[in-house]
Chain A
Amino acid sequence: MRLARGTAPRGSAIPLTPLVDVMLILLVFFMVTSTYLNLDMIPMIDRAEEDMPPARGATAGDAAGAAMLVRVRADGALVWQGRVLTPEALGEVLAARVTEDPGARLLVLPAGAATTQALVRVLDVAQAAGVRAVNLLRLDGP
């Protein structure tokens, strides 16, 4: 008995047009939904800097340089020695202090309700002013 075997018609390759359609749709989807952010980083904990005295439990006399204190209020205002300063003015003050004492440390005491952006603004100003050591203070509340 001879069974007829189905023969694939020659020249009928898999159609590529639907594949291209799907890929183009996916491509446009990812192009539209992708967002691009230029991301940088600010060190928060770095064991390499532990040769510097920690802020917790340390006094100003223990430090190699003088300690400078900046408070960040809940509304984001920067307070330096009882006065509210703009970030630019604070940068000038810090730069002048660092010029006199290159080892000066900056202690930042932020209010708990202050935003992360306000804290980062202080770190940004300190970095631009050339402050090498910045410590964050946290009040342990109940």
Chain B
Amino acid sequence: MRLSRSSRRAPAETIVALIDVTFFLLVFFLLVGRLDASAPFEVIPPIATSGESLPAGGMTVSMSPAADLALDGQPTERAALVAAVRGRVEAGDLERLRLNVHADAPVRDLLALVAALEETGATPVVLVVTPTPP
């Protein structure tokens, strides 16, 4: 009696499914990991438990503890930053302005920046916080 033996060769489709899943995960981590690269310096947001949910979109202004500024990840000075924000406000396409300020940044620099931004007419301006310590 001859029994048929199944072929030991793995089907070719297996590696295609693996590539699909790997690509999916790769793109996912690419998109998610971009948030951390939005400032040329480290920014640890202040902790607040009563913050509202942060929607996506808009411009992001980052401030380091030494009051260094960055606009959408690019280092800049305050005058250039205010001019860029004013341009977006006058163009009417400023959806939101997010202040990504380090928890140890002095209030003096934060309020001076907020006052300068307020004069441009930018609204709404929100401060990024986190409910849990990083």
Contact = CB atoms under 8 A, between A and B. Distances in A.
Contacts of A37: 35-36, 45, 130, 134
Contact of B46 (A43, A110, A120): A120
A41 interface: yes
Given A45-B114, A116-B104, A136-B111, A27 B29 contact: yes
Contacts of A128: 49-50
Given A19-B19, A20-B15, A41-B129, A116 B114 contact: no
A interface bracket (residues with beta carbon within 8 Å of B): 35 or more
Contact of A113 (B54, B106, B131): B106
A55 to B, nearest CB: 12
Contacts of B29: 27, 30-31, 34
Interface string B111-134: 110110110001111111111101
Contacts of A16: 15, 19
A23 B107 contact: no
A35 B134 contact: yes
B22 A20 contact: yes
B110 A116 contact: yes
Given A40-B54, A120-B48, A123-B48, A30 B26 contact: yes
A13 to B, nearest CB: 9
Interface stretch (B3-11, B74-82, B95-103): B95-103
Among B25, B104, B125, B127: residue with most chain A CB under 10 A: B127
B102 to A, nearest CB: 7
Contact of B48 (A42, A45, A112): A42
Contacts of A119: 46, 107, 110
A115 B126 contact: no
A39 interface: yes
B33 interface: yes
Interface of B: 15, 18-19, 22-23, 25-26, 29-30, 32-33, 35-36, 45-54, 98-99, 101-108, 110-112, 114-115, 117-118, 122-132, 134
Given A23-B19, A117-B103, 5 more contacts: A39-B45, A115-B106, A120-B48, A121-B46, A123-B48
CB-based closest 10 A-B pairs: A40-B51, A112-B108, A30-B29, A127-B50, A34-B33, A45-B125, A41-B126, A120-B46, A117-B103, A117-B46
Interface of A: 16, 19-20, 23-24, 26-27, 30-31, 33-48, 72, 110-121, 123-124, 127-128, 136, 138
